[in-house]
Amino acid sequence: MHGADPVLSPLWVLPFAALLLSIAILPLFAAHFWHRRYPLVCLVLAAPVVAYFTYVDPHRLSETALDYVSFIILLGSLFVVTSGVVVEGGITASPLGNTLYLATGAFIANAIGTTGASMLLIRPLIRANKHRHKISHVFIFFIFLVSNIGGALTPLGDPPLFLGYLEGVPFTWTFRLVPEWLTTVCIVLAVFFVFDTIMARGETVADESFEVRTAGRLRLDGKRNLLYLAGVVLCIFIDRPLRELGMLAMALLSYQTTPESVHDRNEFSLGPIREVAILFAGIFATMIPALVVLQQNGASLGVDEPWEFFWATGLLSSFLDNAPTYLTFLSAARGLGLPADVVGVPNHILAAISCGAVFMGANSYIGNGPNFMVKAIVEENGIEMPSFFGYMAYSCMILVPSFIVVTFLFFR
């Protein structure tokens, strides 16, 4: 814990590991039990951690609770606001059309964050592709590019970079990451184009004619909600509790002023955000010991090369909250005593930490908040998504080789 507090036993990481295994395994082998009892599973695994830290370190527990509240209010506000925007037409569900859409989403993520871009853009992509037969891969790549990798160029893009900005990293410093960002985005987009081209070969003539009819001119309903969306993004720069109150106000205004017909066209319900809120309550609670153990041992991990920072930050960000993981390795880098360019570390080290935290949040469903949210929205629209391990099979086959290329190009 803090200062002279005793060293925490690594055994306290077991509830977090058990929750991850539950999320990964129970939907496969006990789906009925999981869908009915996952709140109970989260409660049972989180309870001993909460009880221990209530007694030993209540300050850390309260800070984690506040972080969770901020996280779920941001996610929930964006979910409600973007549910009031209906985008129709302008999207062709061809391999080229999908590729251009994902590229656009990766770019937009830098302006409204990976969470905002994910919530705004996922429903139009679902509508455009729903007539196709094998389309789950489209949304997997959406998580890769829009929900994660795309947000590496501004502090607005992803929470770790915003924390870096609060730590003193200049707002424009992240523009240095354009080469790493562009390389990674282009590799993943190229793989997607080839993959989607192969998967689209089985579409029928009727499917293709539906695609032509539904593309058409871009139509946008609920434009008022774009102002509320901008309001939520601007609230990020305000300190709590005004930040959270502002976000809730935007969500309430959106909900009250959006016609029911617009919500119906988006098939709006609170089911996805309810599921994410419960699961991440368990994740935030049980990951406290994991973060404590990481902080206690961060300086002794022997990480001192850019590629080591890239992979160490990234692999832990795949399963832990990437924001505190970013801060932990930033602190470890400061302790190396290397020539400092910004916030006490060299530029190339900070670039490795930043890219690792942002890029590798795509490695699992729980690596970044929007990942699970996108999965829940897609599944609520009747589209089957891969299991936890199924998704990671995609990330291991596609993202890991891409990150190896990035390592040799930029972080050797």
What pLDDT, on the 0 to 100 scale, is given for residue 6?
Answer: 60
What distance in Å separates the CA atoms of residue 98 and residue 96, rounded to the nearest whole number? 6
Among 279, 254, 271, CA closest to 80: 254
| Domain assignment of residue 292, yes or no | yes
What pLDDT, on the 0 to 100 scale, is given for residue 214?
Answer: 53
| Domain assignment of residue 4, yes or no | no
Beta-carbon count within 10 A of 185 CB:
21
The residue length of the chain stands at: 412
| Domain assignment of residue 3, yes or no | no
| Domain assignment of residue 282, yes or no | yes
pLDDT in tens, 87-99: 776 677 789 999 9
| Domain assignment of residue 2, yes or no | no
| Domain assignment of residue 221, yes or no | yes
Burial (Cβ within 10 Å: 0-12, 13-18, ≥19) of residue 140: buried
Radius of gyration from C-alpha coordinates of the chain:
21
DSSP state of 8: P
What pLDDT, on the 0 to 100 scale, is given for residue 272?
Answer: 87
What distance in Å separates the CA atoms of residue 284 and residue 71, rounded to the nearest whole number? 10
Range of the domain at 381: 10-410
Among 334, 335, 297, 337, CA closest to 316: 297
What distance in Å separates the CA atoms of residue 254 and residue 403, rounded to the nearest whole number? 39
What distance in Å separates the CA atoms of residue 50 and residue 40, rounded to the nearest whole number? 15
pTM: 0.87
pLDDT in tens, 247-303: 999 999 999 999 998 888 888 888 888 988 999 999 999 989 988 888 777 666 778
Residues 6+ apart with CB under 8 A from 366: 20, 23, 279, 283, 319, 372
In order of 117, 161, 391, the CA distances from 133 in angstroms are 25, 38, 18
| Domain assignment of residue 316, yes or no | yes
Residues of the chain with pLDDT under 70: 1-6, 89-90, 202-218, 298-300
Among 393, 372, 390, CA closest to 122: 372
What pLDDT, on the 0 to 100 scale, is given for residue 211?
Answer: 52
What distance in Å separates the CA atoms of residue 113 and residue 233, rounded to the nearest whole number? 8
Among 384, 391, 317, CA closest to 135: 384
Residues 6+ apart with CB under 8 A from 36: none
What pLDDT, on the 0 to 100 scale, is given for residue 146?
Answer: 96
| Domain assignment of residue 334, yes or no | yes
pLDDT in tens, 56-74: 999 999 999 998 998 889 8
Q: For the chain, how many structural domains are there in total?
A: 1
What pLDDT, on the 0 to 100 scale, is given for residue 2?
Answer: 46
